[in-house]
Every structure is written in C-alpha cells, then in structure tokens.
A and B are shown apart, each in its own frame.
Chain A
Amino acid sequence: DGGITQSPKYLFRKEGQNVTLSCEQNLNHDAMYWYRQDPGQGLRLIYYSQIVNDFQKGDIAEGYSVSREKKESFPLTVTSAQKNPTAFYLCASSSGQGYGYTFGSGTRLTVV
C-alpha cells in the first residue's frame, strides 16, 4: 500500500536538545512538505522540497532544518533555536501537479 509514514507518533524532548522527525513516502512523489499545527493557527508551512537535494524555506523556517538526500525521505530537525517547539508536526507529499497533498498521521512533539 502506498502512503506516507511519520515516526514516532509522540516525541518528548528536553529543552536545549535537537530532535529529528522522520517522514518517508512510497508514493513516488517528487514534492514533500513539513507543516506545523498549533491551536487556532491552522497549518503553517515550515519547509518544502520539490526535488531531491533541493528545499526551500516556508513561512516559519526559523529554528528548523531539513535534508532531502532521497526522494522517499524528508526528515525535519527541530533545533534548540526553535523558541516554541511543542506542536503537532505534519509531513505531506504531492506529485507536483497541484492536485493536492497526501498527509502523514503526524508527530506530536512535547518539550519537557
């Protein structure tokens, strides 16, 4: 079955530590995206990648970093520079034709 997998589902991090969220897709999609959801804020774009080895900043990229070494994988690192990292993080992918995204099931990150 084709899909997009985010792991882990829940993640706890101590303040000052970096943490990496995994996102893998087997849909053969070229484009991948990271969003953050906070209550009342909707979905805010962190980073996106339209092709391997290339990515662009979204609206709220500060304190985050990504890599796109393989088509299937787009990991997101939440660094200690991110001021309010506690949130629900969503990864998505698309074929790049504007027909919409397929989302993963999300990772809830809590800083303790």
Chain B
Amino acid sequence: DQQVKQNSPSLSVQEGRISILNCDYTNSMFDYFLWYKKYPAEGPTFLISISSIKDKNEDGRFTVFLNKSAKHLSLHIVPSQPGDSAVYFCAASAMYRDDKIIFGKGTRLHILP
C-alpha cells in the first residue's frame, strides 16, 4: 500500500515555462514533506521541504505547496531550465514518531528546448 503517490511517471515541459509536479499521500500522521532531485547514476539530493504547519515554502525558482485537507503537495519550478531535467521524488515523514522517510516512485521531468 503506497503511502506516498506520484501518479505521473513522466512530465515534459518547455524551457522557460512552469513545471508542476504533484504528489498525494494517505497517512495523516505525516507532518514533514520533502522533494529530492536525482540525476542518473547519482544519489538523490535534497531540494526543498515543508512542515505541515505551513502551506507554502519558497526557495528561488522552487516552491512547494501543501494542501493538508486534500493530502496533496506540489512542486512548482519557475522558470524551468534544461538542468532541471531529472527524476523528482516526493517524500514524507512523521517527524516525532519515526525518522523513516517514505518515498514516492518519482516523476521524470524532461525540459524541452
């Protein structure tokens, strides 16, 4: 039973446009959410996170939105650049219960020239 779901295996976006990656979760105990970016043959790197007490967190071109009632979060990348082409993993944890982070299956983002 997947607790963190990324329903789009891949997404193609024109360079300069907005990329929106979506993620849904089922466990209401999750209170901390993260996005990781992964290039082929490399380990994932941390991108941005959000605590459940917030509904938005911004870092440069990256913004994460959290809708707790819908158990949904999204990552917005504006403007999209060629170097953003990678696999993006959504992840969640219940910080005060367990350190384990649950990952989604990932979305492969292609930025088109």
Contact = CB atoms under 8 A, between A and B. Distances in A.
Interface string B30-67: 00101010000111111001000000000000000000
Contacts, number: 57
Nearest to B104: A42
A35 B100 CA distance: 12
Nearest to A4: B43
A31 interface: yes
A98 B99 contact: yes
Interface string B83-109: 000000101011110111101111000
Identify the interface centre among A50, A88, A99, A104: most chain B CB within 10 Å of its CB.
Answer: A99
Interface residues of B, number: 25
A71 B34 CA distance: 25
Interface string A95-112: 011111111111010000
Interface of B: 9, 32, 34, 36, 41-46, 49, 89, 91, 93-96, 98-101, 103-106
Interface of A: 6, 31, 35, 40-43, 45, 48, 50, 88, 90, 92, 94, 96-106, 108
22 contacts: A35-B103, A40-B105, A41-B105, A42-B105, A43-B103, A48-B100, A50-B99, A94-B99, A94-B101, A97-B95, A98-B99, A99-B95, A100-B34, A100-B46, A100-B49, A103-B36, A103-B44, A104-B43, A105-B43, A106-B41, A106-B42, A108-B41
